[in-house]
Amino acid sequence: MSHPLIRKLKTIARLSPEDEDAILKLPMELCDEPPDRDIVREGDRPKRSCIIVDGFMCRYRLLESGKRQIMAFHIPGDMPDLISLHLGVMDHTLGTLTPCRLAFVAHEHLHRLCRDRPNLNHALWRDTLISWSVLGAWITGIGRKPALNRVAHLLCEVSTRLEAVGLAEDFVSELPITQTELGDATGLSYVQVNRNLQDLRSMGLITLRKQTLSILNWQKLSEIAEFHPGYLHLIAHA
Amino acid sequence: MSHPLIRKLKTIARLSPEDEDAILKLPMELCDEPPDRDIVREGDRPKRSCIIVDGFMCRYRLLESGKRQIMAFHIPGDMPDLISLHLGVMDHTLGTLTPCRLAFVAHEHLHRLCRDRPNLNHALWRDTLISWSVLGAWITGIGRKPALNRVAHLLCEVSTRLEAVGLAEDFVSELPITQTELGDATGLSYVQVNRNLQDLRSMGLITLRKQTLSILNWQKLSEIAEFHPGYLHLIAHA
DNA sequence: CGATACGTTGACGGAAATCAACCCCGGTGG
DNA sequence: CCACCGGGGTTGATTTCCGTCAACGTATCG
């Protein structure tokens, strides 16, 4: 299997063999992390970024009320804190959801990569802008869609992204995310998430057991969600 | 007065005299637009980006239900569709709120600028990532804060951003945004926006008449909002 | 085998949406 | 000059969706 970052970048940009080579030559430090571990915290000034080799992560903010808002889920191949490359101080926290294998790359190497390989610079720009787009889709849901549609949309999105990097097939994917976490991502209570998942199940649109999601009726589910994958800017959908 | 883009970028990054010069030498086409006009629409593939010289803009998405979610407000100095430089297809719409004077710059010139002036490349990266950060702050509010706090937060944010580029002083700024638009940005109905503005007024925290916002008690207002300006990554706050 | 985390279900209450008037003000045209 | 109009703002009444509280079920693990 090729490097997860290569696989991921190929879903959003074309890479030359030299580009792939440059990525493979990046000095990386592998690291295994337990679940629910904060990797970079609000206020930190990281000097390196990480690539998810395996596992799920999320970025989030905590409020004084104790409530949490998850701003993104990250899957293998993602580089979740590319942001620190240009912003310096983290304004939110990045943590693991499941046990994760992470590859850390020092910022200096990334800067050099971007300088020497315009094509990869472009790809990383795209990746960052797509994260931004995804956030826009989330905000649209949280601000203006009813609970059922939000939950449906999240399932469509995660499933599509997993499929793009080869981690889902035939609408079946592993989804190691608790209902509490789904709630923190959709702006709902976990009770409400549970009820809406029940509804989707009873409509025969999905099954979700033991962290395995199967979408039985993609057509209907994506209609409810108003899911239009264009915002993911995948080459396969272009 | 210096160029609005220079003034803006100086709030988030250091520019050398040569950087400023390069910006001033950019070929730009000035254009006046009426209010409520879409400049770039979902699905478009723009070949140029715009800089706001004067006026307010917003980016938004419409849902089938007819509801609208505003994802960002943009003020003079902002380059709202820098995103199209790397993504190609727009996945949302960018439009004016007020009459606007816009300066259009062809993508080719921007690409050259980024290539020739690493410092400006960095500044534009920062600007983009900050937009992303702002979206994260919004999502946190919409997902997890009660109405009053959301409205208060939006006022704090816009006021801070306007002040950074010299368009607000002593907590007084022009705010040419209707309550309906504030609702579309905060995920509230305009009725609810109205009631919460009333509440902020009756608490003696703000006045808002004829599109002029005065924040009378910044301390209290920002507490209610849980507003921590770090996410705007302004040099002045570093 | 108890402990713990996650999922499920019912009852209740509340924050905000919706519906429906009405007001105020600036612009326009007869 | 004033009547009319339309957009924005304000306010009250009613409804509804979803949050909260609380209890119970179920699976995994030391």
- A71: which chain B residues are within 8 Å (Cβ-Cβ)? 136, 139-140
pLDDT of residue A236: 86
Residue of chain B whose alpha carbon sits nearest to that of A83: B129
* Residue contact A140–B71, C-beta within 8 A: yes
- Residues of chain B with pLDDT > 90: what percent? 92
Dump pLDDT digits (tens) for B135-177: 999 999 999 999 999 999 999 999 999 999 999 999 999 999 9
- The overall average pLDDT reported for chain B is 95
Of B59, B85, B139, the CB nearest to A138: B139
């629910």: which residue's tokens? A36
pLDDT band, very low/low/confident/very high, at A1 (cuts 50, 70, 90)? low
pLDDT of residue B53: 96
What would the mean pLDDT of A62-87 be, rounded to a whole number?
94
pLDDT of residue A86: 86
Judged against a pLDDT cut of 90, whether residue B125 lies above it is answered with no
Q: Which nucleotide is nearest to B36 (CA to C1')?
A: D7
A229 touches chain B (CB under 8 A): no
Dump pLDDT digits (tens) for B94-109: 999 999 999 999 999 9
pLDDT band, very low/low/confident/very high, at A238 (cuts 50, 70, 90)? confident
pLDDT of residue B88: 87
Q: What is the largest CA-CA distance in chain A?
A: 54
What would the mean pLDDT of A25-29 be, rounded to a whole number?
94
Judged against a pLDDT cut of 90, whether residue B2 lies above it is answered with no
What would the mean pLDDT of A198-208 be, rounded to a whole number?
96
What would the mean pLDDT of A2-10 be, rounded to a whole number?
93
Mutate to test the interface with A, among B45, B62, B125 (most CBs of A within 10 A): B125
pTM for the full predicted model: 0.94
pLDDT of residue B1: 58
Give A94→chain B minimum CA distance, Å. Answer: 13
- Residues of chain A with pLDDT > 90: what percent? 92
Give chain B as a DSSP string: ---HHHHHHTTTS---HHHHHHHHTS--EEEEE-TT-EEE-TT---SEEEEEEES-EEEEEE-TTS-EEEEEEE-TT--TTTTHHHH-S-SSEEEESS-EEEEEEEHHHHHHHHHH-HHHHHHHHHHHHHHHHHHHHHHHHHHHS-HHHHHHHHHHHHHHHHHHTTSEETTEEE----HHHHHHHHT--HHHHHHHHHHHHHTTSEEEETTEEEES-HHHHHHHHT--GGGG--GGG-
pLDDT of residue A2: 80
Higher-confidence position of B236 and A90:
A90
Distance B180 CA to C29 C1' (A): 29
pLDDT band, very low/low/confident/very high, at B236 (cuts 50, 70, 90)? confident
pLDDT of residue A237: 80
Of A67, A71, A128, the CB nearest to B136: A71
* Residue contact B144–A69, C-beta within 8 A: yes
- A91: which chain B residues are within 8 Å (Cβ-Cβ)? 133, 136, 230-231, 233
Mutate to test the interface with B, among A45, A84, A87 (most CBs of B within 10 A): A87
Question: Is strand D less than 7 A from the beta carbon of B192?
Answer: no
- Residue A41: enclosing H or E segment and its boundaries? none
Of A69, A128, A131, the CB nearest to B140: A69
pLDDT of residue A21: 94
- Residue B211 sits at the vertex; the CA angle it makes with B209 and B216, to the nearest 5 degrees, is 55
- The overall average pLDDT reported for chain A is 95
